[in-house]
Amino acid sequence: MNPGQTHPFLEMRNVSKTFGRVQALKNVSLDVKLGEIHALMGENGAGKSTLMKILSGAYTPDEGSEILIDGQKVAISGPMAAKQLGIAIIYQELALAPNLTVAENIYLGREPSRAGLIDRGAMVAGVESVLQRLGATFSTRDKVAELSIAERQLVEIARAVHARSRVLIMDEPTTTLSERETERLFALVRQLKQEGLAIVYISHRMKEVYELSDRVSVLRDGTYVGTLDREAITPAAVVRMMVGRDLSSFYKKEHDAHQSRGRIIFSVRDIADGRRIQPCSFDIHEGEVLGIAGLVGAGRTELARLIYGADARISGTVAVDGKQVNIRSPQDAIEAGIAYLTEDRKLLGLMLDMSVAENINLGVIARDALAGGFLNLAKGRKRTAEAIQATGIRTASPDAPVGGLSGGNQQKVLLSRLLETKPRVLILDEPTRGVDIGAKSEIYRLIDRLAREGVGVAVISSELPEIVGICDRVIVMREGHIAGELGGGPEAEAVSQENIMAIATSAAKDAA
């Protein structure tokens, strides 16, 4: 291997792919060098996955497409052919057999044998050095089912390294990892780069791309937009390439909570759970977007769940439009005009096997029932069509399973369901987590529209540019209590990333 190689090891030239009447890729080119981390970015539907599936042998490209490995034109007839050429892919959904051991997974499909039987001893001996090299803390004999997500991902990487892969494709590898696990993965990716692998890194997270990448290539609507070298990689430049407009347009607010600040419509006083959350108090004004910031573990989600009645509290009151409401369950909260978007839409929010229409109507289906308890299907269809139009949900049909939609469209389906309850207050917990930049922009515009319509919106987010860009006022949590407040008037401290981090990390005096 040749780290820092100047000429491309992998070249994809004029790659196209057509599915029926839909052209998913049109004359896309990409090249990757050994000893390089090359990020591939684009909105959901831009063609990233299709391009990588062609490279890994899952799809066959249209005639006229060319793939070269080390200067030689190759035909990748299937996944096995890709592996033989030294190409490995680690999908977002890991492809491991949980009932097999680590060693068995690494050797899967190419097991060594002795006297006609699988030589398990040889398998163990053959992978131990690879696991040591990658810093694994688990055993070759451990069952994959017993490992964490981060450890399973390491098994996938070990499989690629053990097979002497020279091109490693990583598709959204940090989606399910904690911050510490992500840092370990980054260290490992850099190690593999130093060892000479050509790494294609797919991510929608600009921070990761900026931290890791030597080059970034961008696709938009199935076409190649361009490539940026390390020194030219900035969030503004990448976003402009991905969506065809400037980053500043993302956070444009048409509502102005400072000049036309409405009355207080939502009040929380001394709410606590006796464990993680100390007594917390805050207000939200009509038409205001309130940010709730803080480091991981500060208690932001726990506070929201107490307000919403998802967890039990030992003290505190909640008032909507000046009237105190008794919230003992999420249903009580909904009836009081409070809606909550969970941070885990797949586990706690959506019914993935149900259709888009069924998910949108789920919260209000009983309200529409005809005499005798029969469903009002016509009203449900009308509501679904209006929601799809209003929030820009991209789906082939209202009857399509919501589990087949992109992350951004799933989030818009869940938001549509909440909005059908006609909330007075909307609490959004990580509303743009796991969605592409285009969907983020649409969600920001939806939040702005709700504020203009007089809804009180609270946004919990770990992305500080998001908090600064869309929120009028910010409360900052630290260790289960509200440690400070920013914005809200000309005399208040400004909402900025620096001020938020100062409060979140104890670098400023408590303001609460």
In contact, 361 and 372? CB cutoff 8 Å? no
Q: Kindly give the residue spans of alpha helices, DSSP state H, lying in 134-222.
A: 149-162, 179-194, 206-212
pLDDT on residue 508: 44
Q: CA of 196: how far to CAs of 6, 33, 167, 455, 503, in Å? A: 12, 9, 9, 54, 42
The DSSP output letter for 355 is: B
Fold: same for 10-246 and 250-337+423-504: yes
Domain boundaries, the chain: 10-246, 250-337+423-504
Cα maximum dimension of the chain: 83
In contact, 459 and 292? CB cutoff 8 Å? yes
Neighbouring residues of 377: CB distance < 8 A, sequence distance ≥ 6:
none
Paired residues of 340 in beta bridges: 427
Residue closest to 442 by CA, chosen among 33, 172, 43 = 43
Residue closest to 204 by CA, chosen among 50, 435, 37, 403 = 435
In contact, 224 and 29? CB cutoff 8 Å? yes
In contact, 277 and 418? CB cutoff 8 Å? no
Positions in the chain whose pLDDT score sits under 70 = 1-6, 44, 243-252, 255-261, 344-349, 363-379, 506-512
pLDDT on residue 512: 40
Q: Which CATH superfamily is domain 10-246 in?
A: P-loop containing nucleotide triphosphate hydrolases (3.40.50.300)
Q: Which structure tokens are listed for 448?
A: 């702005």
Question: Which H/E stretch holds residue 407?
Answer: helix 407-419
Please state whether the predicted TM-score (pTM) of the whole model is above 0.95: no
pLDDT on residue 324: 96
Rounded distance between C-alpha atoms, residue 378 and residue 357, angstroms: 12
Strand ranges inside 221-373, DSSP E? 223-229, 264-272, 280-285, 289-293, 315-320, 323-325, 338-341
Rounded distance between C-alpha atoms, residue 198 and residue 85, angstroms: 13
Lookup result for tokens 């803080």: 294
Report strand pairing: 10-19 vs 66-69.
Answer: antiparallel
CATH of domain 250-337+423-504: 3.40.50.300
SS3 399: coil
Rounded distance between C-alpha atoms, residue 369 and residue 46, angstroms: 41
pLDDT on residue 511: 39
Lookup result for tokens 């951004």: 408
SS3 415: helix
**From the CB of residue 136, how many other CB atoms can be counted at a distance below 10 Å?**
21
Neighbouring residues of 183: CB distance < 8 A, sequence distance ≥ 6:
none
Rounded distance between C-alpha atoms, residue 142 and residue 127, angstroms: 13
pLDDT on residue 148: 85
SS3 261: coil
